[in-house]
Structure 1
Amino acid sequence: MSMISDESEMDLEKCVQTCEEEEIELPADSSGGKLMYFLAPYFFGKTWICDISLSLLGAIMSPSLVRLPYFSLCDFYDDQLETKLSDVFSPLWMIIHYFLFFIMLFVNFIHHRKKVNIEKKALQKLLKEVAEIDLTEDPVAWKRIAFKVNQFCEEGGNHYSLFYSGEHCMRFFVREIVKPIERQTYDIRCYCEGEMYRNFWKNPPNKVLVERALANYNKSVGNFDELSHKAEKEECRDVIFEKFRNIFNTSMLYLGAIESASFMIMTPAYIISMIAWAIFNSFSAPH
């Protein structure tokens, strides 16, 4: 009888654990959930409107900066050349610039979304959960932490999940908490009412919370083999994405610098040409 009761208790515990795990649902658990994690705040937060507006502005400003001075100089020195409006505001030129600007803005949005701009209270909640939860025995510890922090943020009025998976939560903790402590920079950043603060560590209660969370993490860091493997894959993808973003942003910076330099050269050249032409005509005109 005792053996049967023990087996029943074990089955009951497994059932309870399974039910708890089923209740813990993060965006990455559903098909398309991770995609929605990034796209939902982009569209529902109306960030896309701002990006489209800025991209259109960039597409319109670019021909004004480069092509208008160029064709003005061409017209000045070549009377036979007839510049059309379509030459200055070339549709192809504007479309290319529009998409370049839009991609740059969208990629930067994804980058900032992945990094997680965490509020002070949410960070305190995260540290508290890491400090208190059993990271050694619980197989879904980081998933549970991410779920609780997401839930806390939703209760605080945030409509979007902070973390899309347990690995995402763990990587954030390692990047933003563990590494600054290991490097002794203590640069733990968070946001409060939209402003970024770097003095989180200097607050004594926060410092104690960080130390407790770090101590619990260090005790169980060797038990994250499977999760660490997944996190490494995610980290590898993040590195590739970061390289692409850096290359793209650098390319756009160089493009902007070249176009600005062209404007700075051709515009004064056109003005000087006009002044020289006016002076020459004034001297050559019959008195």
Structure 2
Amino acid sequence: MSMISDESEMDLEKCEQTCEEEEIELPEDSSGGKLTYFLAPYFFEKTWIEDIIFSLSGAFISSAAVLVYFSLRDFYHNPLESELSDEFCPLWTISHYLLCFTFSIFSFIDGREKVNIETKVLQKLLKEVAEVDLTEDPVAWRRIASRVNHFSEETGYRYSLFYSGEHCMRFFVRQIVKPIECQTYDIRSYYEGEICSNFWKNPPNKALTERALAKYNKSVENFGELSHTAERDEFRDGIFERFRNIFNTSILYFWVIELGSFLILLLTFIISMIVWAIFHSFATA
């Protein structure tokens, strides 16, 4: 018994020594890590150029309503409206540009938070979850996130996939646990830039996923489904998530109202032209 106890203590000490020797590097460990995590790919991948083009396009399209309004104004010869519209037009264009640009930034941040993961990297994540002791290791998810980040960089991705261990855990719950609990099995990954939704259908991937899920469920068996629900709610009810949902909903209603206004103005302009043509034909008859 003493020999077995000594061997167990030696294995434990060896494990602790290995854990101490392994260096965990995550963006959250640096002072500006979170800012760098989001902004580095945004600028270096030139996403900001696409956002500027998209915002300019949105502002240009929105000017169609202004053109119809100007046509109606000139048709009815209203000098007061001419002065007001000359001041309103630049504000209209700038506000639409800023709204489109803000929408683009929020969409990028949301996509960065949700993580688009390659198939090989997802397999690495599942393997780490299946092998790491999630119960006894206090920094298990930080360790997993660090290893997956390093593996992702080795495969050619230049930026960290996960900002923190908590970020890694939320991703696992959202992308692995939730689809299996809901029995949709819609586990998605990327392969050469294309979305692959058949990850679960591959037998080795399915077996690896089941191992990782069993290990995760074992680590939260004292909390059961409440743990999963709490983690999902924590992510869903985050400040940024709620603000983004409110902003997107507001933008949707704004565009619907604007489209309705544009159609009304256009219809008014067409009717005015028809009425003017009818009266003009009678006047010249």
Shorter-chain TM band: 0.7 to 0.9
Aligned to 1:281: 280
Aligned to 2:100: 101
Instruction: State percent identity of aligned pairs.
Output: 67
Partners of 2:197 and 2:260 lie apart in 1 by 37
What secondary structure, in the 3-state scheme, does the structure 1 residue paired with 2:259 have? Answer: helix
1:60 paired with 2:86, answer no
Partners of 2:156 and 2:16 lie apart in 1 by 34
Partners of 1:173 and 1:61 lie apart in 2 by 40
- Once the two structures are superposed, the pairs formed by residues 249-260 of structure 1 within 5 Å of their partners are 249-260=248-259
Query: Which amino acid in the other structure matches residue 28 of structure 2?
Result: A
Aligned to 1:242: 241
What's the TM-score once normalised by structure 2's chain length? 0.85
Shift of 1:184: 1.7
Query: Which amino acid in the other structure matches residue 112 of structure 1?
Result: G
Contact kept, 8 Å, 1:117 with 1:190, in 2: the verdict is yes
- Once the two structures are superposed, the pairs formed by residues 49-198 of structure 1 within 5 Å of their partners are 49-62=49-62, 64-78=63-77, 80=79, 83=82, 87=86, 90-198=89-197
Partners of 1:188 and 1:12 lie apart in 2 by 36
- Gapped regions of structure 1 (runs ≥ 5): 1-8
Give per-residue Cα distances to partners, 1:56-79, cap 9 Å, x unaligned: 2222332x2322212321221236
Residues 179 and 237 of structure 1: CA distance in aligned 2, closer, same or farther (over 3 Å): closer
Contact kept, 8 Å, 2:170 with 2:235, in 1: the verdict is no
Contact kept, 8 Å, 1:65 with 1:259, in 2: the verdict is no
Partners of 1:181 and 1:79 lie apart in 2 by 64
Aligned to 1:25: 25
- Once the two structures are superposed, the pairs formed by residues 259-270 of structure 1 within 5 Å of their partners are 259-270=258-269
Query: Which amino acid in the other structure matches residue 45 of structure 1?
Result: E
What's the TM-score once normalised by structure 1's chain length? 0.84
Residues 82 and 181 of structure 1: CA distance in aligned 2, closer, same or farther (over 3 Å): closer
Query: Which amino acid in the other structure matches residue 174 of structure 2?
Result: R
Count of residues in correspondence between the two structures: 272
Query: Which amino acid in the other structure matches residue 39 of structure 1?
Result: L
Bigger mean CA deviation after superposition, 274-283 or 259-268: 274-283
What secondary structure, in the 3-state scheme, does the structure 2 residue paired with 1:90 have? Answer: helix
Partners of 1:88 and 1:278 lie apart in 2 by 31
Shift of 1:234: 10
Aligned residues: CA RMSD: 2.9
Shift of 1:215: 1.4
Shift of 1:10: 9.4
Contact kept, 8 Å, 1:143 with 1:165, in 2: the verdict is yes
Residues 24 and 238 of structure 1: CA distance in aligned 2, closer, same or farther (over 3 Å): farther
Aligned to 2:44: 44
- Gapped regions of structure 2 (runs ≥ 5): 1-10
What secondary structure, in the 3-state scheme, does the structure 2 residue paired with 1:196 have? Answer: strand
Residues 81 and 281 of structure 1: CA distance in aligned 2, closer, same or farther (over 3 Å): farther
Aligned to 2:6: none
Shift of 1:81: 5.8
